Amino acid sequence: MSSENDRVIVVGAGPVGLTAALALRRRGIQTLVLASEQALVMELRGSTFHPPTLDLLDEFALVPRMIEVGLKAPTWQFRDRETGPVATFDLALLTGDTSHPYRVQCEQWKLMRFLEEELRNEGVELRFGHDVTSVRQDDDSVTVIANTATGPVEVTGRYVIAADGARSAVRRSLGVEFEGFTYAELFLIASTDFPFENTLTDIAYVNYIADPLEWLVLLRVPGLWRVLVPAPENSDRDKLLSDENLQAMLQRVVPRSDAYTIAHRSIYHVHQRVAKNFRHGRVLLAGDAAHVNNPLGGMGMNGGIQDAFNLADKLKAIWAGADDRLLDRYDRQRRTVAVEAVQAQTHRNQQMISERDPETRRKALDAMRKVAADRTSAREYMLRSSMIASMRRAAQIE
Ligand SMILES: Cc1cc2nc3c(=O)[nH]c(=O)nc-3n(C[C@H](O)[C@H](O)[C@H](O)COP(=O)(O)OP(=O)(O)OC[C@H]3O[C@@H](n4cnc5c(N)ncnc54)[C@H](O)[C@@H]3O)c2cc1C
């Protein structure tokens, strides 16, 4: 193999692809990033970073910058829309388990900007406008085929990390099943600069709010509150995203005489899906290309960033001569926690805050209240909800 091709090709310039590229670069592995867009995507998606992800990102010395442009969230809450706080979880209880006993609320595009800057400073090539359509591999190399404005191109390397998102062209070109389901409801999001904290005086920066009719999530990012509610699947999207509908939705959160300023609005189909395998010869799936889940718990991007560091460590060992069966271990470790931890936890969260049966609901909220009231059970719960337990579980898998 020519020295030029002695590299890893990363497909996708989202938080996972950029993290993988920088982690590989820092481990001395030549890397090339291909992405279909013309420049970084600034979509308002993820914003919650969990403690173990922050511990990993410490390697890039980026956490202080994220806190500077974000918010430290030392606590988070489950609430009842009618009666208020049900359980407040204080991440300080995790002080012995992480260097970052808090969440950081920082929009994912801000991290992506920092990563792009670091990559450019280190001379890693990012080729935008490369719409990957398929991959071809043989015993010692893999070739990525992409469409560009000037025609199709082929790029070869030793391995490919497919971090090309939920609709991954690489995963689909390999014919990999993306097993799971799609929620029957849409997720509707509006951001506003209205200071909900002045009315809902006991809220945290991250709040999952149960209600049998309209559950909601209230997330703080700098200068804005993000409000996430469910919407019936067969609704008219334009109507859902209309000022009239969003004003009505926000007025149901806190009624007021003035209209709300709506800074952003978006709507999503939400899936719980995991790829059948994360390894396909010389192609590794990571991030949303490998697993997608509902955002209740803020685990999707975090899980993907954890994939990226896991992979970079294994590829470093392979570059140093280790057997590439190590990549099968990546598959076992990361797929297991995607299913056991992330899929299970996020679906449980969705079920708990949307429960309609009064008795089941009362029991679930009482159980959560009890968990939070006891230091030992609260810590155990937070080890799971903050993804520390799943990182430890992955490390135990051979
Ligand atoms: C409303 C919402 C809120 C969320 N909140 C959170 C949260 O708080 N915390 C959290 O952890 N997660 C959250 N998530 C999930 C999070 O946004 C995703 O898990 C994360 O974006 C996945 O990153 P990724 O890099 O794998 O994929 P993406 O961010 O989807 O990036 C994929 C990249 O691949 C590129 N690409 C796609 N197709 C091609 C192609 N054919 N060729 C070349 N390039 C291609 C794309 O342009 C993009 O650059 C949320 C998601 C939503 C929708």
DSSP-derived pairing of the beta strands 262-275 and 291-292: antiparallel
Residue 128, classed as helix, strand or coil, is: coil
Give the distance (Å) from ligand 1 centre to CA of residue 41.
9
Q: Smallest Cα–Cα separation from 101: which of 78, 75, 77?
A: 75
Q: What's the mean pLDDT when you consider all of the chain?
A: 97
Q: Is 299 in the pocket of ligand 1 (CB under 6 A)?
A: yes
* pLDDT over 90 (residue 161): yes
The amino acid at 132: V
pLDDT reported for residue 348? 96
- Cβ of 275 closer than 6 Å to ligand 1, yes or no, is no
Neighbours of 256 (CB within 10 A): 11
Mean pLDDT of 69-98: 97
Sheet containing strand 142-148, strands side by side: 131-137, 142-148, 151-157
Q: Which residues have C-beta within 8 Å of that of residue 368, sequence separation ≥ 6? A: 78, 86, 87, 352
Of the CA atoms within 13 Å of residue 303, those in its CB half-sphere come to: 35
Cα(75) to ligand 1 centroid in Å equals 25
Burial of 376 (0-12, 13-18, 19+ CB in 10 A): exposed
Domains observed in the chain: 3-71+100-179+272-352 (3.50.50.60)
Q: What is the pLDDT of residue 4?
A: 82
Mind listing the pLDDT tens digit for each residue in 194-235? Answer: 999 999 989 999 999 999 999 999 999 999 999 999 999 888
For range 247-256, the mean pLDDT: 97
HEC letters along 258-292: CCCCEEEEEEEEEEEEEECCCEECCEEECHHHCEE
Please give the number of the atom of ligand 1 that sits closest to the Cα of 164.
Answer: 34
**pLDDT for the residue numbered 238:** 96
Q: What are the b/e assignments for 210-238, b being 16+ CB within 10 Å?
A: bbeeebbbbbbbeebbbbbbbbeeeeeee
Q: Which residue has the tokens 């709040």?
A: 207
Mean pLDDT along residues 387-394: 98
Question: Which pLDDT value is given to residue 68?
Answer: 98
Segment 43-54 shows an average pLDDT of: 95
Per-residue model confidence (pLDDT) at position 3 = 81
Question: Which residue has the CA at smallest separation from atom 13 of ligand 1?
Answer: 46
14 within ligand 1 shell (Cβ under 6 A):
yes
88-104 tens-digit pLDDT: 999 999 999 999 999 99
Q: Which residue has the tokens 């991030």?
A: 287
Share of the chain above pLDDT 70, in %: 100
Q: What percent of the chain stands above pLDDT 90?
A: 97
Torsions phi, psi of 151, nearest 5? 115, 175
**At residue 2, does pLDDT exceed 90?**
no
- Tell me the mean pLDDT in the region 375-381: 98
Distance 218 CA to ligand 1 centre (A): 21
Minimum CA distance residue for ligand 1 atom 4: 46
Checking if the pLDDT of 1 tops 70, the result is no
Structure confidence by residue, pLDDT tens digits, 163-182 = 999 999 999 999 999 999 99
Query: Is the beta carbon of 48 within 6 A of some atom in ligand 1?
Result: yes
Strand 103-105 and strand 71-73: the pairing is: antiparallel
* Average pLDDT of span 138-152: 97
pLDDT of res. 321: 97
Write the DSSP symbol of residue 130. -
Does residue 126 sit in helix, strand or coil? strand
Closest C-alpha residue for ligand 1 atom 49: 13
Is the CB of 268 within 6 Å of ligand 1?
yes
Looking at the predicted structure, is the pLDDT value of residue 296 above 90?
A: yes
Q: Does 10 have pLDDT greater than 70?
A: yes
Residue minimizing CA distance to atom 9 of ligand 1: 298
Q: Cβ of 109: how many Cβ atoms within 10 Å?
A: 17
- The full length of the chain comes to 398
Alpha-carbon distances, residue 64 vs 195, 213, 385 (angstroms): 25, 40, 23
